[in-house]
Amino acid sequence: MARVARVARLDGSRWRLPLALVAAVVAAEAAVLVLRPREGVIHPAPVSARSYFSDAQIDRARDFRRPQLALYGGQLAIEGALLVLLVRRPPRWLRRGSRPLLRGAAAGAGLAVTLAVVALPLGAIARQRAVDVGLVTQSSGGWAVDQVKSAAISAVMLAGGAALLLALMWRFPRRWWAPGALLVVAVGVAFTYAGPVVLDPVFNRFTPLAAGQTRSDVLALARQAGVDVGEVYVVDASRRTTAANAYVTGLGRTKRVVLYDTLLEKFTRDETRLVVAHELGHVHYRDVPRGLLWLALVAPFAMFATQRLTERLGPERGTPAALPALALALALVSTGMTTISNQLSRRVEARADTFSLELTSAPAPFIAFERRIALQNVADPDPPGWLTWTLGTHPPTVARIGAAVAFERGRRSAAP
């Protein structure tokens, strides 16, 4: 009987990790289903990329983007290989010595710097390719300074995260995933609130949008949409890139709409109004808080899976020697969760596109903008479906153009 009970326990432990991973995936998909916009999204009309882009333009984008994707995959592979090596052979100083929290913080900082260094060669190649197509304008020296800043910030963040998680693993050896989930949500809220005023200015200069036509358009669109736009800023993106973009960030007093200076300089008034209307759509539907809600729903299941995977990868528990296994587990689980969350992101972005079209009633400028920004950003207008599904946070350009075409057709059919 004792042997039967022991075998049953072994069989049960064998299924703990797969069940935890499945639960995390199911929870993430369920959260996407719950929060996924069900209304206010235009179903795109089928359109061909070659109706809006020449063969040369499509080939140029793919010749640039596909090697960039391979370089990105290479960086992930190198970082993953390093984590696997550290799991198999943790440094001796992680196993021995006093002050485990201090050693854990040092391990987190060291890991951040090491990962940045090993990925640097492929990152440099990717940057040079972007320079060659005219997408990057920043000097090599400025890029190097940015790499140092990023590594330093990551080192501080990982040092604090490693020490906190190690303390939780020591205090709650069997259930550290639960307070760990609370920590993940708290960090997400803190960075969403403080990021625009603490981290973003480290890399760019943000100035309030000056009085003028664009500001008047922003305020008029906000009144028309019935939303509190918060602050509107212009970021000096041109010091690094020719790409154009805009985004909404922050919470409460730090909520803001940010416009690239390249957008204001190179696009027409109608096109800029469409971009502003899109961002106001995010404000209207409270997409930033809803993103944090998705995180809160998923974090407990994701952290539970992370704990199970950490225990399977490394036998050390509650000591600094467990940190490499924890880092690898977090990387694997978060990658899967991000892929799933991209489904929600694409739907949210499609709803903001619809909001923009309905607010401005300007499908022709919308199509012109999508075409111009794809060319300016050297983006593939019609990437493979698997690539959109795994990495796409926005609908592809052809789908966004298709939404504008469908909007125009619907408007024509509704006209008397």
Q: What is the pLDDT of residues 400-414, one digit of tens each?
A: 999 999 999 987 776
According to DSSP H, which parts of 97-139 are helical?
100-118, 120-132
Cα distances from 292 to residues 88, 188, 191, 344, in angstroms, run 35, 7, 11, 12
CA atoms of 187 and 177, how far apart (whole Å): 15
- Could you tell me the sign of the dihedral formed by the alpha carbons of 347, 350, 354, 360, in that order? positive
User: Do residues 114 and 85 make contact, with C-beta atoms less than 8 angstroms apart?
Assistant: no
CA atoms of 133 and 203, how far apart (whole Å): 23
User: Do residues 188 and 341 make contact, with C-beta atoms less than 8 angstroms apart?
Assistant: no
CA atoms of 411 and 216, how far apart (whole Å): 27
- 258 strand-pairing partners: 233, 247
pLDDT of residue 23: 96
pLDDT band of residue 12 (cuts 50, 70, 90) is low
pLDDT band of residue 415 (cuts 50, 70, 90) is low
CA atoms of 32 and 290, how far apart (whole Å): 11
pLDDT band of residue 8 (cuts 50, 70, 90) is very low
pLDDT band of residue 80 (cuts 50, 70, 90) is very high
pLDDT band of residue 4 (cuts 50, 70, 90) is very low
User: Do residues 232 and 260 make contact, with C-beta atoms less than 8 angstroms apart?
Assistant: no
pLDDT of residue 228: 83
CA atoms of 277 and 316, how far apart (whole Å): 52
CA atoms of 334 and 76, how far apart (whole Å): 13
Q: Average pLDDT over the chain, rounded to whole?
A: 91
The pTM of the whole model exceeds 0.95: no
Instruction: Say how many C-beta atoms besides its own lie within 10 A of residue 159's C-beta.
Output: 20
Tokens of 260: 């690239």
- 232 strand-pairing partners: 257
pLDDT of residue 5: 47
Over residues 261-284, mean pLDDT: 91
According to DSSP H, which parts of 226-362 are helical?
261-266, 269-284, 287-313, 323-360
Across 6-15, 30-39, 85-94, 261-270, least confident range: 6-15
Over residues 14-23, mean pLDDT: 91
197 pLDDT exceeds 70? yes
29 pLDDT exceeds 50? yes
11 pLDDT exceeds 70? no
Q: In which residue are the tokens 């991973």 written?
A: 21
pLDDT of residue 10: 45
CA atoms of 352 and 303, how far apart (whole Å): 31
pLDDT of residue 215: 87
Over residues 185-212, mean pLDDT: 91
Closest to 246 measured CA to CA, from 394, 65, 143, 91: 394
CA atoms of 248 and 280, how far apart (whole Å): 8
59 pLDDT exceeds 90? yes
- 208 strand-pairing partners: 233
7 pLDDT exceeds 50? no
Longest dimension (CA), the chain: 83
pLDDT of residue 414: 65
pLDDT tens column, 368-412: 999 999 999 999 999 999 999 999 999 999 999 999 999 999 877
Over residues 259-274, mean pLDDT: 90
147 pLDDT exceeds 90? yes
CA atoms of 212 and 133, how far apart (whole Å): 33
Phi, psi of 258 (to 5 degrees): -120, 130
47 pLDDT exceeds 60? yes
